[in-house]
């Protein structure tokens, strides 16, 4: 293949390959147990597959409406109102998306102008900042620090200025497995009151909150619901991350702008999958039982790491567990994860990858959305780690 005949001027010059791709590729090359990338190693309910096949055979194989199949939008509206008390209009305030990442990118592309400032909380999921930068926006980073990773609301208040256009939040939070409480949402509402700031709320782990806690969706708080685009993911909820189907809800004024971009960057989403998901959502227990399902996996994983040299940080939501490894090695987390994959046969994610400046607190992220046999084999290897001399 001949080289491109002119210099390529990158619009994302500091962006390389995502850490998830890097670590999953290394895990595959090394035959390691992959606890790095956040996806299950078990299948979804057979009924969901049967419903997809049903709708394919029934002829639901052409373009659906741009905003999504009406039956699915209706099911989303019922779920959100039942859980959080806010009624969203099916026609103008709900859009089905090609996964949560597309929803997040589209929200930024639709609403951020060159020179606008967008506040994010880091460690931050790696798709947020590139989306802002591609629109000519400026990323303003609020640091969350181990071990509790709580937002510093005084610092956020100081960061808000006349150019602040958007605040992007994520609870339950990836990668830290922390969960914002009602007091956090009240403070966010207070700081944005009387402004034109849009909140983009990444709530893809909304159904995975542990220890009896309540998920504080922006939809639960009327003042925030009026200024928020809220993103969720069927992939995370129903163990089908590869289907790439999600949705966004928000007030009609924001959704109108969202759809202007959505219609051109993806237009619409897999038709039979949408119909199948609408059918599957009829039983609310399928998402209401998810917290207990993953809480059991969290507890199994933490118990199985008992006696190891890892210091386990609290995991209050998501399907991730953070762990300090200072008792094992004093090396950068990226080096530790590479060595862990090659020598121990377990892949994890270095948390420094979620900081723009590579801030390294010697903490790694494990994913416990795995069969217990997978977790047990991984933990056996991790317990065998001795201090590196």
Q: What is the 3-state secondary structure (H, E, C) of 336-372?
A: HHHHHHHHHCEECEEHHHHCCCCCCCCEEEEECCCCH
Between strands 228-233 and 198-202, the pairing is: parallel
CB 169 within 8 A of CB 180: yes
Task: Collect all residues with Cβ–Cβ distance below 8 Å to 150 and sequence separation of at least 6.
Answer: 144, 178
Q: pLDDT category, 119, cuts 50, 70, 90?
A: very high
In the chain, what are the domains?
19-44+288-383 (3.90.1150.10), 46-284 (3.40.640.10)
Q: Which two tokens stand for residue 275?
A: 């119909």
pLDDT of residue 147: 87
pLDDT of residue 104: 98
DSSP code, position 2: P
Q: Where are the alpha helices (DSSP H) in the chain?
A: 19-30, 46-57, 70-84, 99-111, 128-134, 153-159, 182-192, 222-225, 234-238, 252-265, 271-280, 285-288, 290-304, 333-339, 372-383
Q: pLDDT category, 388, cuts 50, 70, 90?
A: confident
Rounded Cα–Cα distance for residues 189 and 135 (Å): 26
pTM summary value: 0.96
On average, the pLDDT of the chain sits at 97
Rounded Cα–Cα distance for residues 309 and 146 (Å): 18
Query: Above pLDDT 90, what percent of the chain?
Result: 96
Task: Collect all residues with Cβ–Cβ distance below 8 Å to 342 and sequence separation of at least 6.
Answer: 26, 30, 32
The average pLDDT across 303-317 equals 97
What pLDDT, in 10s, does the model give residues 132-191?
999 999 999 999 988 899 999 999 999 999 999 999 999 999 999 999 999 999 999 999
What pLDDT, in 10s, does the model give residues 88-103?
999 999 999 999 999 9
| Element holding 168 (H helix, E strand) | strand 164-170
* Residue carrying the six token digits 């194989």: 61
Res 206 pLDDT > 80: yes
Res 389 pLDDT > 70: no
Task: Collect all residues with Cβ–Cβ distance below 8 Å to 84 and sequence separation of at least 6.
Answer: 217, 219, 220
CB 201 within 8 A of CB 166: no
pLDDT of residue 1: 87
Q: pLDDT category, 259, cuts 50, 70, 90?
A: very high
Phi, psi of 379 (to 5 degrees): -70, -35
Cis upstream peptide for 189 (omega within 30°)? no
CB 251 within 8 A of CB 227: yes
Identify the CA nearest to 278 among candidates 46, 69, 130.
69
Task: Collect all residues with Cβ–Cβ distance below 8 Å to 193 and sequence separation of at least 6.
Answer: 223
CB 379 within 8 A of CB 308: yes
Identify the CA nearest to 197 among candidates 228, 241, 220.
228
Q: Residue 169's beta-bridge partner residues? A: 201
Res 370 pLDDT > 70: yes
The average pLDDT across 355-373 equals 97
Rounded Cα–Cα distance for residues 64 and 60 (Å): 8
Is 32 exposed, middle or buried (CB count within 10 Å of its CB: 0-12, 13-18, 19+)?
Answer: buried
């Amino acid at each position: 293949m001949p080289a491109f005949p002119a210099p390529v001027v990158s619009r994302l010059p500091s962006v390389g390959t995502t850490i998830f791709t890097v670590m999953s590729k290394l895990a595959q090359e090394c035959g390691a147990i992959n606890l790095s990338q956040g996806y299950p190693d078990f299948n979804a309910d057979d009924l969901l597959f049967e419903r997809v096949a049903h709708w394919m055979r029934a002829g639901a194989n052409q373009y659906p409406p741009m905003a999504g199949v009406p039956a699915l939008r209706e099911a989303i509206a019922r779920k959100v109102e039942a859980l959080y008390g806010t009624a969203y209009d099916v026609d103008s305030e709900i859009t089905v998306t090609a996964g949560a990442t597309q929803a997040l990118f589209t929200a930024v592309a639709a609403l951020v102008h060159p020179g606008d400032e967008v506040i994010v909380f880091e460690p931050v999921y790696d798709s947020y900042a590139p989306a802002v930068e591609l629109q000519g926006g400026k990323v303003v980073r609020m640091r969350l620090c181990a071990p509790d990773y709580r937002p510093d609301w005084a610092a956020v208040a100081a960061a808000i200025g006349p150019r602040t256009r958007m605040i992007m939040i994520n609870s339950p939070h990836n990668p830290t497995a922390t969960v914002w409480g009602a007091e956090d949402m009240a403070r966010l509402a207070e700081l944005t009151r009387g402004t034109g700031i849009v909140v983009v709320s990444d709530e893809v782990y909304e159904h995975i909150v542990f220890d009896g806690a309540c998920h504080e969706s922006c939809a639960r708080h009327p003042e925030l619901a009026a200024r928020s685009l809220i993103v969720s993911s069927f992939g995370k909820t129903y163990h089908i991350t590869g289907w790439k189907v999600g949705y966004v809800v928000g007030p009609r004024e924001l959704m109108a702008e969202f759809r202007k971009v959505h219609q051109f960057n993806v237009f619409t989403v897999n038709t039979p999958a949408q119909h199948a998901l609408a059918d599957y959502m009829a039983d609310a227990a399928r998402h209401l039982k998810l917290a207990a399902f993953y809480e059991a996996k969290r507890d199994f994983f933490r118990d199985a790491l008992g006696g190891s040299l890892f210091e386990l940080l609290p995991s209050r939501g998501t399907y991730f567990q953070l762990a300090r490894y200072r008792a094992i090695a004093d090396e950068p987390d990226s080096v530790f994860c590479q060595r862990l994959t090659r020598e121990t046969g377990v892949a994890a994610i270095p948390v420094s990858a979620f900081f723009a400046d590579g801030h390294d607190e010697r903490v790694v992220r494990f994913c416990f959305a795995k069969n217990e046999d997978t977790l047990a084999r991984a933990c056996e290897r991790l317990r065998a780690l001795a201090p590196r001399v």
